[in-house]
Structures are given as structure tokens and as C-alpha cells.
């Protein structure tokens, strides 16, 4: 008798939301009553949102670009906060926890959406709320408070641009949690611009340091609880907009106080407007203090069991300074002494190729191989499983034939 190996690839279950887009290209949200769960509540259709899970297993959702409660127009920058409890009802229930259920037209210049209410820096308040935004960086600290940084969004003056504001959300404050503005600017300055970065001295934290406004960055949190931020489409130290490759570390202050940023690597000046710094790859598999990924945004990132940071792909710049969809894989090992760590180019290509992105090498379904490589892409989503393997899905990128578009391929990587 021949032994047959059966591989289970999993199954999907539809648990809520609509099966159709609606008349304006996206379904409006059903908000219900603020703070009250209901089986009919549902956030509106959206993209580029911030999401996380809390210690009780509830899922949270904030902002993004999409539809409000009215379904009028083609969407705006949202600042609504939602909680999903999977244990309520038959398929779980949503609760609208804060922010606005409408995205009004801008009264100045920019996208539809609500401006931010910042309050006093360092002081929580039930009236504080970040402005509508998308492509946000975030961290969850040891006490399960959520921190967010920047994104493409709306400042306190109802002007749209690249934000560099730092916020903390504490779900235990008040009746539904409270926001605290922890740093950065409450103004982007010129429309569709953003505040410049203040870099200070490499490796040295200071109260005056701050990354420039940006969106599409990646983030990590190290074993000491420091927050790390890398890349993004944003503003350098001179006020120039482009694809950044600067690496930052934020150390939160004691007892909830405002902390300090330190510039830890990469360039503080873009080579030209709307461009980006090229990557320095070095030798495949060999760490070096001179290695650095090129400027990019919307890459995939994760942390392994040893506390090393990983980075994959994104839309950015290769070793030659050419722009396109990257498929390079990098590992960053932070220094145990607090100094700058080192980057290692692990796999993938150091060039984007002639077509603007490397094609995928898929191999055999379900079978790992050293020759397999996902195609260049940006905007993929990712997860880490209990055994430390990375999973990521989709994005805008290149398939096995060199065709570019919206991918639905699922990949697993074992460090």
C-alpha cells in the first residue's frame, strides 16, 4: 500500500460585513450608539487602517481611508475607534469606542476627515483624539497601551500632510479609554507637506529629537521596551519629501512621562526631492556596520524569538539607486550596549530588475526551498505564528510571470 501524505491548507469562514461594495465603491459604517456593542454594528469599508489585539483577545481598529456612516462621496481619512469582541453574540460584535462617524469636507486644503484634538502634551483627556489618517506606525507596550506615530493625515488645523505626532491610547482610562498626545507636531505646515526631522547626534537621545512626518513606515519594539521606527515616505532634516531610510529609537519616559528619540542609522538627507537613498547591501549573509536598506515604504516587518528585527520588500530604492518594488530580506541585530546595531542582507535581490520589480519564484506549493523568493511588492500583511514563522499575504507586486498587480499569494518564512 502506498503511503499518502495529506496536507491541510486551511479554510476561510465569512463572519460579517457585506458581500458587495455598495454604490460609492465601499459600504458605509453602521455605528450604533457610542460605547454599546450590537450585532448590527460594522465599520465602513476602508484601507490602510491600524489594528491590534488587547490582553483579553478583543480586536481594535482605528482610522484608515474609507467610508463613514453617510456613505456620501468616495471616502475620507477616518479617525473612528472600534473594538470587536469575538465572544459576544453568534459571530462577535463591534463597538464604536471613539472618534467621529463622519468625514466632513476639509475647510482648508486636503482630504475629507476630522482634524485632531491634541489637548496638552503629556496629559490624557476624554476629548483628545488623533485626526483622521492612514498608514500609521504603532507599538503595544508592556502594560497593553497602544502607541501610534504619524501617517498621512489631518492635523489640528484641518490641513492634510505627513504627520509626526506621537500618541498613546490607554483603554483603562475613563469609560472608553483616553488618548494622550506624547510628542511631535500638531501641525504639518504647508499642505501636503510635513514637519522636518530633527536628528541631533547619531545614537544620542534628546528631548528635541523627532522623526520627520511620514507614512508607510515599519516599527518594532525591543526586549527593553524601546520603540523602533524605520523608513517611510516622509520629510528629511531639510524639509525634502521622499523615501526615507532613517532608523529611530524611542525610549518611553518613566511613569508615563514623555520619552526621547534617538537617530540610530541611515541618512538624514534625501539625495533629491521625491527620491530615496540607495541600499548598501554588502555581502549576502554577512552583517556590517555600513550595511543599510534603501529608502522605502509599506514593507513587511517582524521580530524573531531572539529579538532581532526583520524587514522585507516595500516600494523603494535598490543598491543602484533605481526605484521599484523590492523583494530583499534584511535582519537587524540591535546592540546589547545600546549603540547602533548591524544590518544583514539575508535573501532576495539587491536590484529591482528591468521591469520595476523582481518576479516571484514560487517552487512547489507547500514545499520550502532555498531558491524560492516572493516577487517584489509593497503593502502586504503579515503574522507571526507560535513557532516563530512569518506568514505574509498579498500586496501590490509582481507574480511569477513578471506581471504587476494586486497579489493574493500566501507565503511562510522560517528564520
pLDDT of residue 72: 76
291 pLDDT more than 60: yes
Average pLDDT over residues 162-179: 97
* Residue 224: predicted pLDDT: 93
Tell me the pLDDT tens digit for each residue of 9-44: 678 899 999 999 887 789 999 999 999 999 999 999
Rounded Cα gap, residues 346 and 361, in angstroms: 16
Mean pLDDT of all residues in 119-124? 97
Q: Which residues pair with 214 in a beta bridge?
A: 234
Q: Can you tell me the mean pLDDT for 292-311?
A: 95
Round to whole Å and give the CA distance between 223 and 37.
Answer: 36
- The predicted model gives 109-120 an average pLDDT of 94
Express as a percent the part of the chain with pLDDT over 70.
97
The full DSSP string for 324-372 is EEEEEEEEEE--TTSS--EEEEEES-SS-TTTTBPPPB--STT---TT-
Least confident interval from 4-8, 68-72, 193-197, 264-268: 4-8
Helix (H, G, I), strand (E, B), or coil: what is residue 392? Answer: strand
Render pLDDT for 376-397 as a digit per residue (tens, 0 to 9): 999 999 989 988 889 999 999 9
Task: Find the helix or strand (DSSP H, E) in which 78 lies.
Answer: strand 76-85
| pLDDT at residue number 149 | 98
Q: Are 333 and 326 in contact (CB under 8 A)?
A: no
pLDDT at 140: 95
At residue 8, the pLDDT reads 62
**pLDDT confidence band for 7 (50 / 70 / 90):** low
Across the range 161-189, mean pLDDT stands at 97
User: Residue 287: is its pLDDT beyond 60?
Assistant: yes
Q: Return the pLDDT at 401.
A: 95
Question: What percent of the chain is modeled with pLDDT above 90?
Answer: 85
pLDDT tens digits, 309-356: 999 999 999 999 999 999 999 999 998 666 779 999 999 999 998 888
Per-residue confidence band for 4, with pLDDT thresholds at 50, 70 and 90: very low
Three-state DSSP at 408 gives: strand
Instruction: Name which of 70-84, 277-291, 396-410 the model is least confident about.
Output: 70-84
User: What is the average pLDDT score of the chain?
Assistant: 93
Burial readout 10-31 (b: 16 or more C-beta within 10 A, e: otherwise): eeeeeeeeeeeeeeeebbbbeb
- For 22-69, give the DSSP string: -TTSSPPPB--STT--BTT-BPPPEES-EEEE-TTS-EEEEEEEE--S
What digits encode the pLDDT tens for the residues 203-262?
999 999 999 999 999 999 999 999 999 999 999 999 999 999 999 999 999 877 889 999
Do residues 291 and 280 lie in contact, with contact meaning Cβ atoms separated by under 8 Å? yes
User: In terms of DSSP H, where are the helices of 63-135?
Assistant: none
Could you say which DSSP state residue 239 is in? S
- Kind of pairing between the strands at 260-265 and 50-53: unpaired
Amino acid at each position: 500500500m502506498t503511503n499518502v501524505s495529506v496536507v491541510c491548507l486551511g479554510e476561510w469562514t465569512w463572519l460579517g460585513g457585506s458581500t458587495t461594495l455598495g454604490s460609492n465603491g465601499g459600504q458605509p459604517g453602521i455605528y450604533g450608539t457610542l460605547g454599546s456593542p450590537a450585532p448590527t454594528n460594522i465599520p465602513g469599508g476602508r484601507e490602510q487602517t491600524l489594528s491590534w489585539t488587547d490582553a483579553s483577545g478583543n480586536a481594535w481598529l482605528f482610522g484608515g481611508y474609507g467610508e463613514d456612516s453617510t456613505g456620501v462621496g468616495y471616502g475620507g481619512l477616518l479617525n473612528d475607534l472600534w473594538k470587536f469582541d469575538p465572544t459576544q453574540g453568534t459571530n462577535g460584535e463591534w463597538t464604536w469606542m471613539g472618534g467621529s462617524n463622519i468625514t466632513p469636507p476639509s475647510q482648508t486644503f486636503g482630504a475629507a476627515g476630522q482634524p485632531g484634538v491634541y489637548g496638552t502634551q503629556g496629559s490624557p483627556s476624554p476629548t483628545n483624539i488623533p485626526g483622521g489618517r492612514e498608514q500609521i506606525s504603532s507599538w503595544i507596550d508592556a502594560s497593553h497601551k497602544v502607541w501610534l506615530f504619524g501617517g498621512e493625515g489631518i492635523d489640528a488645523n484641518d490641513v492634510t500632510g505627513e504627520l509626526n505626532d506621537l500618541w498613546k491610547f490607554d483603554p483603562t482610562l475613563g469609560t472608553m479609554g483616553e488618548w494622550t498626545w506624547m510628542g511631535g507636531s500638531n501641525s504639518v505646515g504647508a499642505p501636503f507637506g510635513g514637519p522636518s526631522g530633527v536628528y541631533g547626534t547619531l545614537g544620542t537621545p534628546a528631548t528635541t529629537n523627532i522623526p520627520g512626518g511620514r507614512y508607510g513606515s515599519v516599527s518594532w519594539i525591543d526586549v527593553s521596551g524601546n520603540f523602533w521606527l524605520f523608513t517611510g515616505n516622509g520629510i528629511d532634516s531639510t524639509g525634502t519629501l521622499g523615501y526615507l531610510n532613517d532608523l529611530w529609537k524611542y525610549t518611553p519616559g518613566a511613569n508615563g512621562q514623555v520619552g526621547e528619540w534617538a537617530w540610530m542609522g541611515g541618512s538624514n538627507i534625501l539625495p533629491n526631492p521625491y527620491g530615496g537613498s540607495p541600499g548598501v547591501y554588502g555581502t549576502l549573509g554577512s552583517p556590517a556596520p555600513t550595511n543599510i536598506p534603501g529608502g522605502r515604504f509599506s514593507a513587511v516587518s517582524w521580530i524573531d524569538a531572539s529579538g532581532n528585527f526583520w524587514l522585507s520588500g516595500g516600494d523603494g530604492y535598490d543598491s543602484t539607486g533605481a526605484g521599484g518594488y523590492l523583494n530583499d530580506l534584511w535582519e537587524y541585530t540591535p546592540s546589547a550596549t545600546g549603540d547602533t546595531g548591524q544590518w544583514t542582507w539575508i535573501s532576495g535581490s539587491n536590484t529591482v530588475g528591468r521591469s520595476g520589480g523582481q518576479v516571484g519564484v514560487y517552487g512547489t506549493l507547500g514545499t520550502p526551498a532555498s531558491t524560492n523568493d516572493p516577487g517584489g511588492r509593497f503593502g502586504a500583511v503579515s503574522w507571526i505564528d507560535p513557532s516563530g514563522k512569518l506568514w505574509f499575504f498579498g500586496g501590490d507586486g509582481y507574480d511569477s510571470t513578471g506581471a504587476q498587480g494586486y497579489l493574493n499569494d500566501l507565503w511562510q518564512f522560517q528564520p
